[in-house]
Each structure stands twice: as structure tokens, then as C-alpha cells.
């Protein structure tokens, strides 16, 4: 057992867990209307929980390459009703995918159990806000910003640079009182990386684990899968599963995915095989 508390619940991170992606950006809904989007989001959350997701990751900022920035109020308006509705109806860990201090604090007040920040708490006030919630945090590496990150990313050694960056962010967390046991690390697949950078980071997933942290991987349906396989967007599931299986075998335990059931079943088998005696 390796229990990590996530607010009012905890997870045994000696086992793999699936984090289901719930985007609440306007472009992720087919039709407008506040009720429609809340209803759609709730049904999607319920479906992912039925399929075995341990965590629902709610995000109101699109971080796709080139995406337009969002205001704090827009982000609050998108994310808060969804987190509130899920926590009122379903006993599940909700994670908030945000870099915005006010959203971290607001989500925590509604019962969110994890702060997932693609900017690793670099925004002004984010470290202190996250520390005040008492929640665990996922620190992700990104090179540049979503607007610029895919403009010819370049590293001397991508693995060393990502490790050094994350160690620095861990130190910053500890300075504001966020205990090391509450920190999850993520190499940031697709965030300022070429296909080769992404493959090298996945090949070295164990390096992050060996620093003494749980590792989260988010590669579901990302461009790297299509690039590696020469496939269109809608056919990235099998490749995503293969890459996540590799990350599991190198120590990652949380998998941020769109397609929950296939990953839950794949990971259940991988974990069973590892544990059989």
C-alpha cells in the first residue's frame, strides 16, 4: 500500500489509476447554453466513473498549442459549477486543471482533491494558494507557453532539463510548506516537445519515479501518437494505450486519458501480472 490523501478520499498509488479528462472549454461542447453544458459535463463524468476512473480532471483553460488565453472570471464560470455538481452527486476525487490561484482556492472550497497545474505553480500567488488548500499538487513541465511552445523546441538533454526543472519546482513548493509527500510529477508530454523529446521522456519515466515521487502521464490522443503512427486524430486510442502501458511499466501510476475503459482494463491486467505470486 502506498496511500496518498486527495482531500476527503485517498488512493493506493501502488496500483495504477485513471484520471478521466473533463474539458469544460466552450469548444468542447457541440451546442451552447449553460444548462446543456453542465448536463453534458455531468453525464460525461458519470460515464467515466462507471468505466473505472478514480479521478475526474476538470479544466476550463484550453492549453492546446496556440489556444487563446482565458480570464480568471471565465475560468471560474466554467469550472466551479461543474466541480460543485459532481461533488454534490458523486463520491469521486475531482482534480482541477488550472494555473490560476483563485480557481485553486475556489475548487478546493467545493471539495476538489487535487490541483493539477501545467505551469507547475509558476503564476503569481499560485504556490501560496496551493499550499493554503492543503491539497496534493501535480507539477508539470512545459517549455515556453501554450502560444509558443511548439515553435521548434530545443534541449541539450530533454530528460536532464525536465528533471532539473521539476526538482526546482519541488524546492519552491517546500519553501511554502507543501510537503514532498503531496507532490506528483509529470514530464508534460507535448508541451514544448518534438516527437523525439516525448519518446525520450517516456523512455525515462523511471527517472522521475526514482526521485521519490509519484508520476502522472498525460499523452491521451496527443499529436505525438499521430506523428509516431502516421494516423488521423480519431485513431489515436491504440497508440495512446501502448505508450501508457510503457509508462506504467516504468513506474507511472496516474494516467490522464479521454478513453477510460480501455485504459482501466489494460492497466488492471498489467498490474495483476506484476503482483501475481
- Residues marked as catalytic: 222, 256
- Asked whether the beta carbons of 130 and 117 are under 8 A apart, the reply is yes
Report the residue number, 169 or 222, with the smaller CB distance to ligand 7PJ: 222
Size of the chain in residues = 277
For the bound state, the minimum distance from the C-beta of residue 217 to ligand 7PJ, rounded and expressed in Å, comes to 7
Instruction: Tell how far CA 208 is from the center of its chain.
Output: 16
- Which pairing describes strands 214-218 and 254-257: parallel, antiparallel, or unpaired? parallel
Q: Are 133 and 108 in contact (CB under 8 A)?
A: yes
SS (H, E, C) 145-205: CCCCCCCCCCCCCHHHHHHHHHHHHHHHHHHCCCCHHHEEEECCCCCCCCHHHHHHHHHCH
End-to-end Cα distance, the chain = 16
Q: Which is nearer to ligand 7PJ, 88 or 151 (CB)?
A: 151
| Candidates 7-15, 81-89, 216-224, 240-248; binding stretch for ligand 7PJ (CB under 6 A) | 216-224
Position 259 contacts ligand 7PJ (CB under 6 A): no
**Count of positions on this chain that bind ligand 7PJ (CB under 6 A):** 13
Q: Which residues in 2-61 contact ligand 7PJ (CB under 6 A)?
A: none
| Min dist. Cβ of residue 215 to ligand 7PJ (A) | 10
Contacts of ligand 7PJ in 110-129 (CB under 6 A) = 116, 118
Give yes or no for a contact between 141 and 100, defined as CB atoms under 8 angstroms apart: no
In the bound complex, what is the minimum distance in angstroms from residue 139's beta carbon to ligand 7PJ?
A: 9
216 binds ligand 7PJ (CB under 6 A): yes
Determine the residue with CB nearest ligand 7PJ: 218
Task: Give yes or no for residue 141 binding ligand 7PJ (CB under 6 A).
Answer: no
Distances (CA, A) of 188 to 205, 218, 222: 11, 7, 11
What is the per-residue binding string for ligand 7PJ in 176-215, x denoting contact by CB under 6 A? ----------x-xx--------------------------
Of residues 192, 218, 244, 253, which one binds ligand 7PJ by CB under 6 A? 218
* Residue-by-residue DSSP string for 15-79: S-EEEEEEE-SGGGSSS--HHHHHHHHHHHHHHHHHTT-SEEEEE-S--STTPPP--HHHHHHHH
222 belongs to the binding site for ligand 7PJ (CB under 6 A): yes
Is residue 74 classed exposed, middle or buried when 0-12, 13-18 and 19+ CB atoms within 10 A define those classes?
A: middle
Give min distance, CB of 277 to ligand 7PJ, in A.
Answer: 33
Site for ligand 7PJ in 70-99 (CB under 6 A): 97
By CB under 6 A, name the binding residues for ligand 7PJ.
63, 97, 116, 118, 138, 140, 186, 188-189, 216, 218, 222, 256
Amino acid at each position: 500500500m502506498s496511500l496518498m490523501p486527495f482531500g476527503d478520499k485517498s488512493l493506493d498509488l501502488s496500483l495504477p489509476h485513471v484520471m478521466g479528462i473533463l474539458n469544460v472549454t466552450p469548444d468542447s461542447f457541440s451546442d451552447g447554453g449553460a444548462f446543456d453544458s453542465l448536463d453534458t459535463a455531468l453525464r460525461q463524468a458519470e460515464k467515466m466513473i462507471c468505466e473505472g476512473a478514480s479521478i475526474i480532471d476538470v479544466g476550463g483553460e484550453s492549453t492546446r498549442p496556440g489556444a487563446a488565453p482565458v480570464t480568471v472570471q471565465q475560468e471560474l464560470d466554467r469550472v466551479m459549477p461543474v466541480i460543485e455538481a459532481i461533488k454534490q452527486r458523486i463520491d469521486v476525487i475531482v482534480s482541477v486543471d488550472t494555473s490560476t490561484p483563485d480557481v485553486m482556492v475556489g475548487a478546493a472550497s467545493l471539495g476538489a482533491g487535487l490541483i493539477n497545474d501545467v505551469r507547475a505553480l509558476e503564476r503569481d500567488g499560485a504556490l501560496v494558494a496551493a499550499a493554503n488548500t492543503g491539497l496534493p499538487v501535480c507539477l508539470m513541465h512545459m517549455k515556453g507557453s501554450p502560444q509558443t511552445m511548439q515553435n521548434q523546441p530545443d534541449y541539450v538533454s530533454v530528460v536532464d532539463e525536465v528533471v532539473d526543472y521539476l526538482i526546482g519546482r519541488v524546492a519552491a513548493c517546500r519553501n511554502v510548506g507543501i510537503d514532498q509527500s503531496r507532490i506528483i510529477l509529470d514530464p508534460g508530454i507535448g508541451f514544448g516537445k518534438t516527437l523525439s523529446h516525448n519518446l525520450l521522456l517516456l523512455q525515462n519515466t523511471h527517472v522521475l519515479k526514482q526521485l521519490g515521487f509519484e508520476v502522472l502521464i498525460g499523452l491521451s490522443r496527443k499529436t505525438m501518437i499521430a506523428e509516431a503512427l502516421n494516423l488521423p486524430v480519431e485513431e489515436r486510442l491504440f497508440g495512446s494505450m501502448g505508450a501508457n502501458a510503457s509508462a506504467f511499466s516504468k513506474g507511472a501510476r496516474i494516467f490522464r486519458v479521454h478513453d477510460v475503459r480501455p485504459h482501466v482494463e489494460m492497466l488492471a491486467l498489467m498490474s495483476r501480472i506484476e503482483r501475481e505470486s
